[in-house]
Amino acid sequence: MLKSLYAKLALTLILLLFVTALVYSTISYSLTRQRIMGDLQRENADIAANLAAEIPQTVAAGIDGQFTEQLFHLMKIVNPDVELYLLDKLGAITKSSVENELLARDTVSMQPLQQFLDGTEAFPLFAQDPRTLDQPVTFSVAKLYAGDKDLGYLYVTLRGKDHETYQRGRAIDLISTIGLYALIGSLLVSLLAGLYIFRRITSRLQILSCLIHDFEHTGYRQSQRYAEIAMDRGDDEISRLGISFDGLSKRIGEQFELLEAQDQNRRSFLANISHDLRTPLTATQGYLEMLQHKYDSLDDSQRRKYLGISLKHSKRLQNLITNLFELAKLEDYNEELNREIFSLSDLVNDVLQGSTPLAMEKCIDLGYTSDVNPLLVTGDLAMIDRVVSNLVSNALQYTQQNGKVEITLTTVPTESGKKAKFVIEDNGPGIDPTQINNIFRRFHRADNQHSSGSNAGLGLTIAQRIIQLHSSQLTVENTGNGTRFSFEL
């Protein structure tokens, strides 16, 4: 029953209101009781003085005992709750309107009586009740004189033995009639308001809890948005928590999708790389075994042919392994680049000279133009050479016979100055639009009928990583008549 936050908050509110009502009632009763007893004492403050004035003194400066007895008897009849005591100067009781067997003490402390006579203390003042040992009583007191002679005191206790019962009952009645309904009404309104506010607060938390539970059951892949479900437009802690959950769940979902895509790419890569590694290994092993078994029966030309094929496949295998190591190194590259100023136009010329034989073999028109010569840039010369060589090699590989590959170097203005822009464009078959967004992903290998299958789809991944290390991006687009790659330095 008390597992939900709302139930716990509701119970806490009820307990707090109950304690508040209890404290309020206790304080109200105490203050009301003090007020009633003070009013009672104030109203009867002169009763002892008035009675003392009526007691005649004898010639011997004593108190008329017979008259006093009659006065005490008369007061018991007129007001039985008022009790009279004659005290000597030390507070000892010499006569009282109460039977002696009902008295619990025979002396009364004089300190509160003197405070009453001096008028230095506010009402209510309490003194000892002769009929009890532990219950104080409000009182009135007056000095008794015979001429100039001090005879003692007339001590009057108000409401007698039953004054506490009377005062308590009157206080409770007053509280009941004045404050009880107001207290109950205010507590009820506070309770309803508190429960409503708690419901508003905890309902959002309950929605958030359900969303987290549902998110968990979807394998942390899909989640409804808190802002749309709760219609929360606030800016408190719960609202910010809901917004954070929306962002976190979206990010986690994207990460799961990315991990699944990477896992799928990894599986595809392993399948491709195992095939690409197995092919040259099998071919090399086959030709070497043929040389071993038929060495004597083969002439020199056949031997050179088999050795040449084996060497070609071993170089292909070397290139694959080199690319794998290079990609692994670039993925975790955390060293400073070997930056230097070099001529990008000279680098492109060197790459083109090395690619001319392949271009001539396929009858490809390999063109190059540059706005500035030399075009100086800052970067890692070896890495940029790797990128340019890879892009030119890919363009020649995927461009058909009698095709065209054009390289352009230009300068583009930026906020901090100028940058060099490298563009290479071919009129080959282009890239499948469904694969163009994935072409730079690790382990991705585009399906293309013009691919020789001599790589594991690592070249563009390596090139993109190198350009990213130079704080730029390698971009690709289909032109309608081929493909265009570009980057800036």
> Which of residues 329, 345, 362 is at a domain's end?
329
On whether both 418 and 352 belong to a single domain, the answer is yes
Dump pLDDT digits (tens) for 189-235: 777 777 777 777 777 778 888 888 887 777 777 777 766 676 666 66
* 224: CB partners within 8 A, 6+ apart: 211, 214
- H or E stretch at 349: helix 344-361
> Does 463 fall in a domain?
yes
On whether both 322 and 353 belong to a single domain, the answer is no
Least confident of 118-122, 214-218, 228-232, 310-314: 228-232
Q: Mapping DSSP to helix (H, G, I), strand (E, B) and coil, where does residue 314 land?
A: helix
d(CA 158, CA 143): 17
Q: What is the pLDDT of residue 161?
A: 42
Mean pLDDT of 387-402: 89
- Closest by CA to 93, choosing from 74, 77, 110, is 110
d(CA 124, CA 39): 8
> Does 467 fall in a domain?
yes
**Predicted confidence band at 457 (pLDDT cuts at 50, 70, 90)?**
low
Strand partners of residue 419: 412
> Which of residues 276, 300, 329 is at a domain's end?
329
> Does 21 fall in a domain?
no
> Does 459 fall in a domain?
yes
Q: Is the pLDDT of residue 448 over 90?
A: no
Q: What is the pLDDT of residue 449?
A: 46
d(CA 152, CA 57): 12
Side-chain-side CA neighbours of residue 331 (13 Å):
11
On whether both 313 and 363 belong to a single domain, the answer is no
> Does 258 fall in a domain?
yes
Q: What is the pLDDT of residue 107?
A: 92
Instruction: Name the pairing type of β-strands 83-87 and 149-157.
Output: antiparallel
CA 113 to chain centroid, in Å, comes to 66
Please state the length of the chain: 489
**H/E/C letters for each residue in 29-67?**
HHHHHHHHHHHHHHHCCCHHHHHHHHCCECCCCCECHHH
Q: Is the pLDDT of residue 80 over 90?
A: no
Q: Mapping DSSP to helix (H, G, I), strand (E, B) and coil, where does residue 253 land?
A: helix
Q: For residue 327, what are its two tokens?
A: 């990609």
- Residue 336: how many CB atoms within 10 A of its CB? 7
On whether both 403 and 354 belong to a single domain, the answer is yes
Q: What is the CATH number of the domain that holds 475?
A: 3.30.565.10
Dump pLDDT digits (tens) for 83-111: 888 888 899 988 888 888 888 999 999 99
d(CA 283, CA 432): 31
d(CA 395, CA 388): 11
On whether both 300 and 347 belong to a single domain, the answer is no
On whether both 318 and 346 belong to a single domain, the answer is no
- The better pLDDT of the pair 126, 444 is held by 126
On whether both 351 and 272 belong to a single domain, the answer is no
- Closest by CA to 128, choosing from 102, 106, 97, 151, is 106
By the 8 A CB rule, do 136 and 129 touch?
yes
The boundaries of the domain holding residue 287 are 245-329
d(CA 358, CA 474): 24
> Does 465 fall in a domain?
yes
On whether both 355 and 317 belong to a single domain, the answer is no
Write down the mean pLDDT value for the chain: 79
> Does 144 fall in a domain?
no
Q: What is the CATH number of the domain that holds 317?
A: 1.10.287.130
On whether both 292 and 424 belong to a single domain, the answer is no
Q: At what angle do helices 381-398 and 459-469 cross, to 10 degrees?
A: 150
> Which of residues 309, 329, 349 is at a domain's end?
329
- Closest by CA to 70, choosing from 49, 84, 88, is 84
How many structural domains are present in the chain?
A: 2
> Does 49 fall in a domain?
no
Cα distances from 193 to residues 189, 190, 200, 202, 256, in angstroms, run 6, 5, 11, 14, 44
Q: Is the pLDDT of residue 147 over 50?
A: yes
On whether both 370 and 325 belong to a single domain, the answer is no
On whether both 460 and 352 belong to a single domain, the answer is yes
On whether both 391 and 359 belong to a single domain, the answer is yes
- Closest by CA to 37, choosing from 128, 142, 153, 159, is 159
